[in-house]
Structure 1
C-alpha cells in the first residue's frame, strides 16, 4: 500500500476524485425518471407549494422540453405523465397543458446553451428568506456547492408568465447556476438533472441555516479561496450522480410509483 501521509492536499484531492470516478457508476434512470424522482425528492424536502413551481429538461429535439403537467403537484409526477413541449409551450406529447410560467424557462435555455435542466420552486425557507430582500449567504462548508454561484434579484417582477419576466430572470441569473428571487423563490439552471436536484436541495438547506444564524447574530464570511476549493470539490458530475442516487433511494422508499 502506498504511504499517503507525505502527500500534499492537492495530490490527495486528485487521487480522491479519480477513485470516485472509478468506483461509482452513472445511474440507469431515464431522463424522464430522473425528472420524476427530482419532483418527489423536492416534495419531501419542503419545496411543495401547491401547484407553484416547475421543472423542465431539454429533450432530444432542439427547442423542446420535458415538464410536468399543470394541475399535478410534485408528489404526483411520474415518468409517464410528463409532457413534451416546445419553447412556445405547445404540447407535443402528453395530456393537459404546461404551466404558463414555463415561459421564462425558454428564455433561460435560449441564453444558456450549457443549461440542460431548470428547477423553480417556492421552498418554505428559501421563500421566507426572499421576503427579507437579502441575498443567500454561503458561510458553511455543507453549502459550498453554491459558493459564488448564487445570483440575487432584489425586485419582484410579478407573475412570471410574460416575456418581460423571462428577460428579467435571465438577466438576473447571468452566468450563475442559481438565483434567489426576492418575494418569490429559487431558480436553479443546471448542467444535468442530478446537479439541478442537488443544488435545489442545497439552496433550501442554506436558506434554513441562514435564517437560524441570522436570528442568533451576524453571519461571518468564509475565506474565498477555501470556498471556491470546496465548491469545486463538491460540484462535480460524479459527486452529483452519487448524491442523486442517495436522494433517489430515499424517495423510492416512499414513492415507488414515480418510475411507472
Structure 2
C-alpha cells in the first residue's frame, strides 16, 4: 500500500486535493440564461418560494445591463426563454413584460461591486423567520462555513426596496461581503458567479434553519475563527461551486425539463 500521503501536513493535503479538483471536476456548458433559469427552479425546490417575492439577476454582456425574471412569474415558471434583459433603469431591452421594481437596489449593488456577477434576494421561510428576531445569523457548523465571516447584517428595515434610498442602504450594508441578512425581510447574496450565488443561497437558508433549531434548545457555541475561515476557503472553490451547481441542476431537471428551452 502506498503511504506517501501520510507524511504530508494539512496544508499540503489541501493543495493536493485542490489540484485534483482542477483536473477531475469539469465545467458545465449552460448558457447564462439557462443558468439563471436553473437557479430559479433550484431555489424553488429548496425552500425559497415566496409567491412572487424575490429577485434573481445576472450581469449581461453589455455594461449596465442584467438579466432577470418577469414580474408576475414565480421561480417555478422561469425558463431561459422568458427571462428579461434590462438596463440599470429597469427598462426592458429584450423580452416581454416588466421587471420587479425592487430590482432597483440590484442596479445600485452592481455599480458598487464590479466583482459581483449575480445577485439573489429571496424571502426563504427560515431566513425570514430569523430576520424577525433582529439578530445576526450565527455560523457555527462546518457545513455552513461557506458563509463564515462573510455575512453582513442590516438591523433596520428600510421598507419596500423600490427607491434609490434602499439601494444606497443595501449596497452599503453588504460592503465587501458575499451575503446580507436584512431584518424583517430576507436574504441577499452577491457573488462572482451564478453557481456560487445559487449555492450560497441554499447554504444561507439551511444555516438559518439550523440557527433557529439550535437556539430553541440552548445557546449556540462559537467555533474557532481560524478554523471557520479555513473551512470557508476550502468550501468556497470555483470548481466545487461548478460541480455543486451541476448536481442541483441534474436533480431539478428530472422534473423541470422545460426550463432550458
Query: Runs (4+) of structure 1 moved beyond 4 Å?
Result: none
- The offset of 1:66, in angstroms, is 0.4
SS at match of 2:109: helix
Match of residue 135 from structure 1: 136
Match of residue 254 from structure 2: 253
In 2, Cα distance between equivalents of 1:176 and 1:185: 16
In 2, Cα distance between equivalents of 1:44 and 1:24: 25
Match of residue 8 from structure 1: 9
Query: Structure 2: which 5+ runs fail to align?
Result: none
**Matched pairs, number:** 260
SS at match of 1:88: coil
Match of residue 56 from structure 1: 57
Q: Deviations over 1:184-237 (max 9, x none)?
A: 000000000000001000000000000000001000000000000000000011
SS at match of 2:119: strand
Match of residue 225 from structure 1: 226
Residue 125 of structure 2 corresponds to residue 124 of structure 1: yes
- The offset of 1:254, in angstroms, is 1.5
In 2, Cα distance between equivalents of 1:101 and 1:161: 5
- The offset of 1:152, in angstroms, is 0.2
Q: Deviations over 1:130-182 (max 9, x none)?
A: 00000000000000000000000000000000000000001110110100000
Question: How do residues 233-252 of structure 1 correspond to structure 2 at under 5 angstroms?
Answer: 233-252=234-253
In 1, Cα distance between equivalents of 2:154 and 2:25: 37
TM-score (norm 2): 0.99
In 2, Cα distance between equivalents of 1:256 and 1:129: 34
- The offset of 1:2, in angstroms, is 6.3
In 2, Cα distance between equivalents of 1:110 and 1:214: 37
SS at match of 1:159: coil
TM-score (norm 1): 0.99
Root-mean-square deviation (CA), in Å? 0.6
SS at match of 1:172: helix
Query: Structure 1: which 5+ runs fail to align?
Result: none
